[in-house]
């Protein structure tokens, strides 16, 4: 995990090269992503620039850019290539590589194939840029686990960066956008999609449920993500997804002779997630650590958090707050890598609003849409709130082989099922795949625990008091100007308006505002993203956000003075 920054000079309308020192200054805005080493390269003939901020995970002593077969062949990479040893032994057999760093295979694969389609050979997550004999190429992993943006300046140069803050003021008047996942870019081809799996099309989800295959592919996905030369732990919320990942990781690390640290957070020791995580940690045998944050600490941190997060989406900010504080504590303990459970809710329709899906086809379409936009929500949250403190989060559920197995399973097997107790249970297929009577992975009460969204699970007071605080900061008169001030994704609550104001202060361009996609539940009247807004929640608060929303909608509709 690192920070990459690159400039492609070729499309520029000017022959003047971008200043390397200025490029290093821009890259330094994401220094938190890679505080261990800095490296840079500018091609003397093309003018293309690569700058790298390194968080050392593999082959700890080296720095990027990594050189290929000659000095004009260089690569910078953010992420992990889990099959790098296989690539060394097969596609690159006989090629002399200088390091054991997984990133090095990228530049030698490009030298061999000279085509961005080689990205399909990579099993991992990545945002990378390379220069090779005057050619330039950059690419992003299939789902967008690694964050990446591109921009175009007034001279038509292309800029690339993990975080928008490095390019927004340079490119904000022209073009700033998320780099599309599953694509590569060259100045000759523009953006090209290299990743086109069968599961993109909902009609292809016709496979019967195979619990053994689901089980084996998730286990394999977790095992490959234990690759690290740096200390490693697990994020443990006590929900199904992180608990399964933690249990699988503990079994494998124990087999290798290691113990593993687990981490949870809440507003106090009675928070739903903290209580559940405590039970899981005791059951699976981790060295467990609980941390707490106060609601006032969360509120005071909003401005800093939104700068790191680069989003004004309400649910992302709510959920990023505890993850930001937890990552800070994890880094203080010297741990650089953690496994987490992001992605399962999108794949299996785990959010409570999926209980309201009208039919199998709509259920399947919505799961695919959620997976394809993870780069705007949970992947963005997990990456940026953890990398604010130089901690890498790995997400086994978004493994390519596991995605293929799970998404192509017929939707009828993934929809919520009625349990013997009468409760409708989401992610029934996933739970069933790990429901082993002998040598169980989890306590039954955790395996069948109802979905609790992270921002709720840390303590229900967090959302309730955050909403009240934001509402208190925005007058009725100010909120009535929402559409005029923010025509892109106009905020429809005072909480959203307050977050948007802070975002605008950090990133004032319209281009920056357009990079954000709001997370909104489907098939329910209450559009608040809290899980408690859904009637399927056992402790549903059906009017959460509704009273204030109705009030502010009336304010927004009032006629204005001429």
- Measured distance CA(469)–CA(453) in Å, rounded: 21
pLDDT bin (cut points 50, 70, 90) of residue 383 is very high
pLDDT at 457: 59
Q: Provide the pLDDT for residue 453.
A: 56
DSSP H helices in 182-260: 211-224, 240-255
473 C-beta neighbours (distance < 10 Å), count: 13
Q: What is the mean pLDDT of residues 537-545?
A: 51
What is d(CA 254, CA 65) in angstroms, rounded to the nearest whole number?
35
pLDDT in tens, 71-111: 999 999 999 999 999 999 999 999 999 999 999 999 999 99
The backbone region for 405, taken as left when phi is positive above 0, alpha when psi lies in -120 to 50, beta otherwise, is: alpha
SS3 26: helix
pLDDT band at 556 (very low <50, low <70, confident <90, very high): very low
Q: What pLDDT, on a 0 to 100 scale, did the predictor assign at position 510? A: 97
Contacts for 60 with CB less than 8 Å, ≥ 6 apart: 36, 229, 230
Contacts of 436 (CB under 8 A, 6+ apart): none
User: How far is it, in rounded angstroms, from Cα 280 to Cα 247?
Assistant: 8
Task: Report d(CA 477, CA 193) in Å as an integer.
Answer: 46
Nearest to 161 by CA among 191, 127, 190, 110: 127
Q: Is 340 annotated as a binding residue?
A: yes
Q: Per residue in 415-450, pLDDT tens?
A: 998 887 777 789 999 999 999 888 999 999 999 988
**Could you tell me what percentage of the chain is helix, strand and coil, using 3-state DSSP and rounding each to the nearest 5?**
45, 15, 40
Q: Which helix (H) or strand (E) holds 367?
A: helix 360-372
Mean pLDDT along residues 99-125: 97
Q: What is the pLDDT of residue 534?
A: 55
- 231 pLDDT more than 90: no
CA gap 330, 333 in Å, rounded = 5
CA angle 494, 495, 501 (to 5 degrees): 85
Strand duo 2-8 + 66-67: pairing: unpaired
Range of lowest pLDDT (62-71, 87-96, 370-379, 474-483): 62-71
Token pair in block for residue 454: 């992270």
235 belongs to an annotated ligand binding site: yes
CA distance 263 to 265: 7
Q: What is the predicted pLDDT for the residue at 62?
A: 79
pLDDT band at 562 (very low <50, low <70, confident <90, very high): very low
Catalytic residues: 2
Least confident among 131-145, 340-354, 540-554: 540-554
pLDDT reading at 461 higher than 70: yes
> Is the confidence at residue 524, as pLDDT, over 60?
yes
Average pLDDT score over residue span 459-468: 88
Q: Give, as one character, the DSSP assignment of residue 411.
A: G
What average pLDDT does the segment 467-487 reach? Answer: 97
525: how many CB neighbours lie within 10 A of its CB? Answer: 10
53-62, 349-358, 369-378, 501-510: which has the minimum mean pLDDT? 53-62
Rounded Cα distance between 293 and 267, Å, is 5
CA dist 164 and 66 (Å) reads: 24
In this prediction, residues 373-398 reach a mean pLDDT of 97
Asked if residue 102 belongs to a known ligand binding site, the reply is: yes
Q: What pLDDT is stored for residue 250 in this prediction? A: 98
Band the pLDDT of 548: cuts 50, 70, 90.
very low
User: Which pLDDT band holds residue 458 (cuts at 50, 70, 90)?
Assistant: confident
Is the separation of the CB atoms in 5 and 30 below 8 Å?
yes
Q: What are the residues whose beta carbons fall under 8 Å from the beta carbon of 224, sequence distance 6 or more?
A: 82, 83, 123, 399
Give the pLDDT of residue 212.
97
How many CB atoms neighbour CB 359 within 10 A? Answer: 11
User: What pLDDT sits at residue 121?
Assistant: 98
pLDDT digit string, tens, across residues 139-196: 999 999 999 999 999 999 999 999 999 999 999 999 999 999 999 999 999 999 999 9
pLDDT in tens, 287-309: 999 999 999 999 999 999 999 99
pLDDT band of residue 535 (cuts 50, 70, 90) is low
pLDDT value for 230: 82
Cα 475 from chain centroid (whole Å) = 34
């Amino acid at each position: 995990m690192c920070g990459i920054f690159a400039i492609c000079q070729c499309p520029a309308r000017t022959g003047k090269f971008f200043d390397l020192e200025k490029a290093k200054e821009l890259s330094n805005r994401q220094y938190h992503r890679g505080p261990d080493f800095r490296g840079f390269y500018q091609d003397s003939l093309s003018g293309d620039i690569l700058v790298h901020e390194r968080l050392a995970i593999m082959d700890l002593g080296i720095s990027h850019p990594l050189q290929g077969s000659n000095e004009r062949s260089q690569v910078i990479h953010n992420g992990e290539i889990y099959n790098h040893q296989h690539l060394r032994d097969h596609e690159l057999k006989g090629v002399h590589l200088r390091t054991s760093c997984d990133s090095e295979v990228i530049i030698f694969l490009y030298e061999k194939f000279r085509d961005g389609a080689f990205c399909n050979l990579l099993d991992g997550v990545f945002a990378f840029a390379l220069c090779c004999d005057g050619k330039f190429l950059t690419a992003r992993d299939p789902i967008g686990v690694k964050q990446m943006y591109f921009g175009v300046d007034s001279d038509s140069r292309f800029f690339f960066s993990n975080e928008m803050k490095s390019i927004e003021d340079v490119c904000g008047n022209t073009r700033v956008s998320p780099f599309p996942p599953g694509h590569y870019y060259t100045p000759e081809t523009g953006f090209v999609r290299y990743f086109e799996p069968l599961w993109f099309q909902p009609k292809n989800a016709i496979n019967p449920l195979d619990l053994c295959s689901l089980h084996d592919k998730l286990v394999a996905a977790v095992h490959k993500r234990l690759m690290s030369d740096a200390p490693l732990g697990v994020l443990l919320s006590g929900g199904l997804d992180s608990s399964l990942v933690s249990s699988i990781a503990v079994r494998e690390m124990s087999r290798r002779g290691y113990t593993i640290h687990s981490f949870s957070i809440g507003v106090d020791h009675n928070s739903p997630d903290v209580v559940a995580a405590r039970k899981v940690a005791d059951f699976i045998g981790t060295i467990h650590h609980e941390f707490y944050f106060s609601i006032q600490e969360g509120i005071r941190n909003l401005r800093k958090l939104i700068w790191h997060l680069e989003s004004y989406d309400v649910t992302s900010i709510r959920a990023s707050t505890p993850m930001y504080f937890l990552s800070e504590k994890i880094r203080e303990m010297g741990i650089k890598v953690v496994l987490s459970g992001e992605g399962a809710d999108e794949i299996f329709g785990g959010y409570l609003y999926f209980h309201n899906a009208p039919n199998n086809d709509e259920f399947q379409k919505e799961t695919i849409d959620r997976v394809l936009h993870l780069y705007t929500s949970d992947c963005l949250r997990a990456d940026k709130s953890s990398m604010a403190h130089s901690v890498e989060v790995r997400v086994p559920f978004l493994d390519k082989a596991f995605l293929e197995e799970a998404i192509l399973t017929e939707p009828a097997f993934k929809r919520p099922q009625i349990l013997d107790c009468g409760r409708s249970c989401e992610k029934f297929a996933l739970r069933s795949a790990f429901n082993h009577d002998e040598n169980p992975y989890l306590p039954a009460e955790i395996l069948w625990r109802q979905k609790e969204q992270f921002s709720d699970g840390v303590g229900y007071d967090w959302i309730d008091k955050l909403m009240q605080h934001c509402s208190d900061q925005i007058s009725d008169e100010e909120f009535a100007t929402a559409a005029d001030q923010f025509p892109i994704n106009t905020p429809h609550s005072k909480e959203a308006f307050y977050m948007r104001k802070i975002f605008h202060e950090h990133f004032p361009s319209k281009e920056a505002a357009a990079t954000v996609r709001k997370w909104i539940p489907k098939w329910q009247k209450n559009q608040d993203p809290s899980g408690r807004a859904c009637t399927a929640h056992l402790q549903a608060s059906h009017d959460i956000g509704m009273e204030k929303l109705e009030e502010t909608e009336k304010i927004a509709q009032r006629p204005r003075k001429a």
